[in-house]
Structure 1
Amino acid sequence: MSELINNREHKTTEYNNERLEKLKEIFDDLQSGKNIEDVKAKFSKEIGKVTVEEMSKLQHDFSQKNGMSLDDVKRIYSLHTEILKGSVEEIELPKNPEDEPGHPVHTFKLENRAIERLLEEMSKHLAHFAEDDSEENVYKLLEDCNLLLDIDKHYSRKENLIFPYLERYGIYGPSTNMWRIDDFIRDAIKETRKKLMEYNGDKSAVIHAINYCIKEVNDMIYREENILFPMCLMNFTEDEWVKIAHESDEIGFCLTEPAAEWKPERNTIDEKTISDGYIKMETGILSLKQLELMLNHLPIDITFIDKDDVVRYFSHGKERIFVRTKAVIGRTVQNCHPPRSVHVVEELLADFKSGKKDSEDFWIKFRDKYVYIRYFAVRDENGEYVGTLEFTQNIEPIQAITGEKRILS
């Protein structure tokens, strides 16, 4: 049964340094602006097919490049995809778990098929709009955009459940590069929706925006199914896939639902029972059960990261404001944030560690909530930094309070 437990033992190809250097040279040619057709020809002649392992290494190296603008990242990533289409070697595994209904990869692919159907409808509606930009045709495209916004759930599961496990195996390219492109796509869909809601007769701007969305989403589907998912299937254990499937409901699904509940024959999740042991603190004694229930009943979200920026705990209340999954435990906090906001996290932690600050507050409008986010540097009795506490609360109901209440309702 070992072949069902750990696919990592069945890698059939390995990258070598000579090929990697050639690949890096080819992708550097792309970045420097060389003609795409010339680069394609060089790739075909000198490389031919590229393995998933080689792509993993290349993506990691690409993620380490400094000084690239956001437009450069989008352009280079798009060119990478154009070069690689049809050139990624298929991997052979002793079993294809992704074919099993309910397996996370099966569900991701099921969503991709639903997304493709939506994009086909959008293309048809766009053709009608190009001929006649009537209010009805604008509205049909707006409906398509509203549906396409559901892709956020697909990307969020990928970012919060798939990427953390890849990082445990030293694979950082997807969580840096792919997350950036996910954000570009999210922004592009929202911007397109805005153009349709405020349509002023600029037909060409709408056509360009929708075509951009369709191309980028289709390219992401290719990257997922030919690079990301095979990379995951080669590395993740069955236990890890079970955990990913178990936590997917918390984020939700895009345009469809899993075909079934996935329960591998050899594997069932045994939830760890909470010990009946007691924790003695300076101001009282609580059982572990009491402590966890107490933290989960607070009308706030709490997250704690240690002095090495690793997420160690988050509370699990009835109504979390921001998505958290158990996969973030043991992950650096920098990799839990979109790449475009990591610099804010780094600056805040640097101020806490240096002693420049002990706290920092933010407040934002988030969907139907007014969210108050507070960060506190946690220090020991000697003033040494031991971590950071994040405290998040919806203060909309508090702001609505007026007068006094002195008796029970």
Structure 2
Amino acid sequence: MSEIINNREQQPIKNTERLAILKQLFVDLHHGRNLDEIKAHFDAFIGKITVDEITQIQHDFVEEGSISADEFQHIYQQHTSIFQGAIEENTHQNSRPEDQPGHPVHTFKLENQEIDNLLTTRLQVHVEEFASEESAEHIFQLIEDINLLLDIDKHYSRKENLIFPYLEKYGIFGPTTNMWRIDDFIRDAIKDARQKLANYHGDKQAVLAVLNYVIQEVAGMIYKEENILFPMALNNFTEDEWVKIGHESDEIGFCLIDSAAVWKPERNALEDKAISEGYIQMETGILSLKQLELLLNHLPVDITFIDQDDVVRYFSHGKERIFARTKAVIGRTVQNCHPPRSVHVVEELLSDFKSGKKDCEDFWIKFKDKYVYIRYFAVRDENGKYIGTLEFTQNIDPIQAIEGEKRILF
């Protein structure tokens, strides 16, 4: 299995002795050795260091399982004074924005390193131990590994909601359907593995089958992303689009890393586009655009509107959204904002609205710690013509907890 997991191309090491010294310096920093001694050793034996060398060292530590990518970044950020003025810029680095911390591809690859590390140094090892002895300890270790791997949903969600929409803009639809479908298979398999382990009754072969499937498919997806998806995106997306993707990544979150750095392109960051403060006159009042936006964002519900052509045109952006939304969905068809396996439900609902068969549809589900009430309304003009669909989402837990009365006292 290791040949599947470690099938990504290794970066060549040109100076083994030099890199060995650099790695030892980072190990000493990790163990809290005297900083003055480390600084003196660095100045005497290294002097200058390139970004490529830093990347190579981090890659080696992650492959060895001795220092994670997150720990490495923490060490580096804590002790930048040691490397002050010693980092050499190079043409290769400057020509590859995706190698710069904070660039979305750089963040995706950092996550892949952590995922790969979890597969190779923990999950695969514990699977082999469980295969030899199905003890309670080995089962518990596997449950811990699977709970960590559940975080992969954030990685896949950013890919699906931020990368795929821009690919579609350039007429590239393959990853949207194929990769998303595999992502869902992986999500389901991870949940299935957790359920089988949590309720283990001796079905050893079934557990091993699903765990080995998870390892193989996750490793395969890492390869597909880094050798197909990311190069495809890098060849098509503009710098502005990468900036937008980076800005919206926080909305979904990150996988097995705390956060991502802020990417600052070589040119100046995008100029802020000021929103016009013109006034909008409606039948029952007049509001400025700013007032209207603030009003909608302060509603204790989430709303999303798609037009008559099924294109997402607007969503409110309150402080506590129930379901994550990113600006990348604006201008995208609602069908492509849902997993392929649930598109038929969306199509059926919209068909009923457009035909006039229905004017609304309600759903209610348990989601994390919330009880969510989801309502869909067909929006029609004064002549009954279908204009679009409004999605209305609300956490009704606090409402259901209400008892008695609370009156306004005058």
TM-score normalised to the size of structure 1?
Answer: 0.76
Residues of 2 paired with 1:275 and 1:95: CA distance? 37
The 5-angstrom pairing of residues 6-405 of structure 1 reads 95-120=95-120, 121-257=122-258, 260-405=261-406
Partner of 1:40: none
Partner of 1:83: none
Amino acid at match of 2:107: T
1:407 Cα offset (Å): 4.2
Q: Retained in 1: the 8 A contact 2:97–2:265?
A: no
SS for the counterpart of 1:199 is coil
> Radius of gyration: which is bigger?
2
Partner of 2:85: none
Deviation per residue, 1:249-291 (Å, 9 max, x gap): 1111000145632100214133433322110000000011110
Amino acid at match of 2:201: N
1:307 Cα offset (Å): 0.5
Amino acid at match of 2:160: E
TM-score normalised to the size of structure 2?
Answer: 0.75
Residues of 2 paired with 1:305 and 1:259: CA distance? 31
Partner of 1:82: none
1:405 Cα offset (Å): 1.0
Residues of 1 paired with 2:177 and 2:200: CA distance? 35
1:110 Cα offset (Å): 0.7
| Unaligned 5+ runs, structure 2 | 1-91
Q: Retained in 2: the 8 A contact 1:145–1:192?
A: yes
Residues of 1 paired with 2:261 and 2:373: CA distance? 38
Alpha carbons of structure 1 residues 267 and 309: separation in structure 2 relative to 1, 3 Å: farther
SS for the counterpart of 2:349 is helix
Q: Retained in 1: the 8 A contact 2:153–2:187?
A: yes
Alignment: residue pair count: 317
Residues of 2 paired with 1:135 and 1:107: CA distance? 36
SS for the counterpart of 2:378 is strand
Residues of 2 paired with 1:385 and 1:331: CA distance? 19
User: Relative contact order (alpha carbons < 8 A, sep ≥ 6): 1 or 2 greater?
Assistant: 1
Q: Retained in 2: the 8 A contact 1:157–1:251?
A: yes
SS for the counterpart of 1:256 is coil
Partner of 1:18: none
Residues of 2 paired with 1:404 and 1:325: CA distance? 39
Residues of 2 paired with 1:185 and 1:220: CA distance? 9
Amino acid at match of 1:288: L
| Unaligned 5+ runs, structure 1 | 1-91
Deviation per residue, 1:123-155 (Å, 9 max, x gap): 111111111111111000000000000000000
Deviation per residue, 1:16-51 (Å, 9 max, x gap): xxxxxxxxxxxxxxxxxxxxxxxxxxxxxxxxxxxx
Deviation per residue, 1:100-132 (Å, 9 max, x gap): 111100110110010001001101111111111
Residues of 1 paired with 2:333 and 2:154: CA distance? 22
